Structure 1
Amino acid sequence: MMTDDALPVDFSFVLASSVHDMKNSVGMLLQTIEELSASTSPDNYDQAKQLSVLGYEAARINGELIQLLALYRVQNQRMLVQLEECYIDDVIHDQLARNDILFRSRNILVDVDCSEDICWYVDSELLGGVVNNVLVNAARYCESHIKIAAWIECDELHLAVADDGRGYPEFMLASPNAARDSVSFSDGSTNLGLLFAREIANLHRRGDRHGRIALKNAGLLKGGQIEVILP
């Protein structure tokens, strides 16, 4: 029973604190899975495949918890953006290495088209988080092929991730804000990753310009493509 002098509960703060605790627990689970994978005999293909599935699902949960915390901080203006000149090729390959087991276990070919000398002022941790989430999502929906490309156009950095899957639904392509409000109960998609990508891109600013994302189908490959555009 709440007394007259009891403080009201800030549910968003409670939720954020709970998410932080869950993230730590999932992190310990991921470490345990990695240790089990390292000790598994290469000849035990079935067990290795099961562990790779567990690792993928745990990593996906961990990524979504991190995104929730980041969005909470953005909403409460607590997100610090540290812009530094970074080699974009390094940002991409860091995330490819992070998901190497996932790609190999699913026989996914990943191509990279990014010049080694492309440098841009970005928050490499935040941009890396976006790239990681997009790669994990692409691995879930592609057939067997993912392509990452980065280039400079009109004094903006373009970083695109494309796959050979079925592509984005038409309603998401037609409305740039559809991902913010849509939830699919058929496949469990909340489109949290797109909201996260949009908010992180928006935090990258130069003068009166800010970053954005764009969705298309039949881009670099026949499936869906997300493009992060930063000033």
Structure 2
Amino acid sequence: MSLQLRITLMFGLLLLVLTSISASLIHSFLLDNLIDQQKNELVLKGQTWIDKNNDPTESVQPESIAELTRLFVSNRKVEILLLGKKKKVLYTTLPSSNLNQWLDVLDRKAEKRKDKNIWIVGDDDYVVVNLPFKNDEKQRLILGSPVRGLKDVRLELTQNIIIVLLIGAVSTILLSFFMTKSMVRPLNQLEKEIKKVQFRRFSEVRHIPARGEISEVSESVYSMAQELDRFHEIQRQFLQNASHELKTPLMSIQGYAEGIRDGIFTDKSAEQGLDVIVAETNRLKHIVTDIILLAKLESEEDLFHASFYSASELVSKAVERLHPLTVQQNVTITVRSLSTDPILYVDEDKILQALLNIVGNALRHADEHIEIRIDGGKRHAIIEVIDDGEGIPDDLLPHLFHRFVKGKSGDVGLGLAISRAIVERSGGAVDVRNGTVAGAVFRLTLPLRPPTQS
């Protein structure tokens, strides 16, 4: 069953229950309301006639009786009983067979049901008004209207109300069906787009326009598809680049090994070939080690063991390890703290490796000088590595931290990708931009406390 039909059925069932309860309550209270209205009407008309004919010195004239009859002629059936002194019947509309029953009820002061204005006379219930006449409690004007007639009116009114409620309910259900259709349509379209994701057709996923929470879901699906498409492309490029990087040293190794085996390279040439084989083997080992490390950084959970370390000490260790390279390339490194030495909450070995990769990259591109700035904040510390080289080409800048992406003097293209993985797994962030004058600026944001305390 479709979502649209389920929502409509649930809404219709709820509306049916509410309509039934409403009709039941109306049916229950309607009779009481009609009885009250009938009683008030009888009191009003009876009292009006009594006020006109309340002179104790005059007897009831035929004209007064006729006026009393006319007063109730337009009403529903109303029984009139006018009693004089000693319960003498002055006038009545009751048949003689019922008169004695009414008088008996009057003698018993009316057998009552729920309401004191309801009299049970024979098998019928009556709404009764008992009014004193001529200021004498013994002379009474008794007016009675059968409850059966009010019940018929109640049934008629209830039927009309139920018809109106049913028409309203049907109209509301039809309206909700079309409203639900407009709400469910984006979900049906989203289902088709998600199936594209299922079959890895990420680039074909469209953004479905919608409103409210569905709009957020649509935006999430579209963003997810774009991210998956980008990741899929990165994986494809990774396989291509990895195969290329591995293929080059393997070809060199194979070429020299076959040449030595076949006697093509002898003496010094053979020695040079063996040196190349050893160098390319070490290069292969380095590439494979970096690939394995990057895979571990992106997948394994218990790889990091964080503790508190001085940012200045970590930077100093990285500079010391790179000292031979700085002397060789004639580049100076200056470390400058812009605030009190921040204490980082990181894995020392991993962050040191990330710093070595980034500062080593700066060394390959710097002309004469590298500046490392350390600044502390409330929750994070910032380490900036600034070189005075040529900077990074604009087309390379967005992809610099991707795997196997390298500049003109790069090595394998995994160092910066490893650095980014280490920093992000540590709860920080890394980005790069070109300097305002020259060179590149690498910015590392590292945490000062565990993630739960941040």
> Given the superposition, is the C-alpha separation of residues 185 and 203 from structure 1 closer, same or farther in structure 2, using an over 3 Å criterion?
closer
1: CA distance, partners of 2:408 / 2:341: 43
> Given the superposition, is the C-alpha separation of residues 195 and 181 from structure 1 closer, same or farther in structure 2, using an over 3 Å criterion?
closer
User: 1:172 touches 1:179 (CA, 8 Å); kept in 2?
Assistant: no
Which residue of 88, 91, 95 maps to 2:311? 88
Of residues 155-164 and 77-86 in structure 1, the stretch that sits farther from structure 2 once superposed is 77-86
> Given the superposition, is the C-alpha separation of residues 62 and 108 from structure 1 closer, same or farther in structure 2, using an over 3 Å criterion?
farther
2: CA distance, partners of 1:61 / 1:95: 25
Q: TM-score, normalised by structure 1?
A: 0.62
1:185-231 per-position Cα deviation (integer Å, ceiling 9, x unaligned): 854555322211111111113xxxxx111111116x72011111123
The alignment covers a number of residue pairs equal to: 168
1:24-69 per-position Cα deviation (integer Å, ceiling 9, x unaligned): xxxxxxxxxxxxxxxxxxxxxxxxxxxxxxxxxxx99987665433
Structure with bigger helix share is 2
> Higher RCO, 1 or 2 (CA under 8 Å, sep at least 6)?
1
SS of the equivalent of 1:72 reads helix
| Partner of residue 103, structure 1 | 326
Confirm whether residue 215 of structure 1 aligns to residue 432 of structure 2.
yes
SS of the equivalent of 1:71 reads helix
1:153, distance to aligned residue in structure 2 (A): 3.3
| Partner of residue 33, structure 1 | none
| Partner of residue 230, structure 1 | 446
2: CA distance, partners of 1:67 / 1:136: 15
2: CA distance, partners of 1:92 / 1:159: 9
Kindly provide the amino acid, as one letter, of the partner of residue 356 in structure 2: N
Kindly provide the amino acid, as one letter, of the partner of residue 217 in structure 1: N
Which residue of 414, 417, 428 maps to 1:195? 417
> Given the superposition, is the C-alpha separation of residues 77 and 227 from structure 1 closer, same or farther in structure 2, using an over 3 Å criterion?
same
Which runs of 5 or more residues in structure 2 are unaligned? 1-238, 247-281, 448-454
1:70-95 per-position Cα deviation (integer Å, ceiling 9, x unaligned): 21212341551111110111111111
Of residues 189-198 and 128-137 in structure 1, the stretch that sits farther from structure 2 once superposed is 189-198
> Given the superposition, is the C-alpha separation of residues 229 and 65 from structure 1 closer, same or farther in structure 2, using an over 3 Å criterion?
farther
- Within a 5 Å distance, the mapping from 1:53-202 to structure 2 comes to 67-77=290-300, 80-114=303-337, 117-153=341-377, 155-173=379-397, 175=398, 177=399, 179-180=401-402, 183=405, 187=409, 190-202=412-424
Kindly provide the amino acid, as one letter, of the partner of residue 425 in structure 2: L
2: CA distance, partners of 1:192 / 1:181: 5
| Partner of residue 130, structure 2 | none
> Given the superposition, is the C-alpha separation of residues 184 and 89 from structure 1 closer, same or farther in structure 2, using an over 3 Å criterion?
closer
User: 1:179 touches 1:194 (CA, 8 Å); kept in 2?
Assistant: yes
2: CA distance, partners of 1:64 / 1:79: 23
Which runs of 5 or more residues in structure 1 are unaligned? 1-11, 20-58, 206-210
Percentage of identical aligned residues: 23
1: CA distance, partners of 2:343 / 2:310: 5
SS of the equivalent of 2:442 reads strand
| Partner of residue 23, structure 1 | none
User: 2:306 touches 2:347 (CA, 8 Å); kept in 1?
Assistant: yes
Superposition RMSD in Å:
3.2
1: CA distance, partners of 2:317 / 2:344: 16
1:121-145 per-position Cα deviation (integer Å, ceiling 9, x unaligned): 1111111001111121111111010
1:120, distance to aligned residue in structure 2 (A): 1.3
Deviating beyond 4 angstroms after TM superposition, the runs of 4 or more aligned structure 1 residues are: 59-66, 184-190
1:160, distance to aligned residue in structure 2 (A): 1.2
2: CA distance, partners of 1:215 / 1:124: 22
> Given the superposition, is the C-alpha separation of residues 215 and 67 from structure 1 closer, same or farther in structure 2, using an over 3 Å criterion?
same
Q: TM-score, normalised by structure 2?
A: 0.33
SS of the equivalent of 2:401 reads helix
1: CA distance, partners of 2:403 / 2:353: 22
User: 1:217 touches 1:225 (CA, 8 Å); kept in 2?
Assistant: yes
1:140-174 per-position Cα deviation (integer Å, ceiling 9, x unaligned): 1110101111112352111111100011121243x
1: CA distance, partners of 2:408 / 2:344: 39
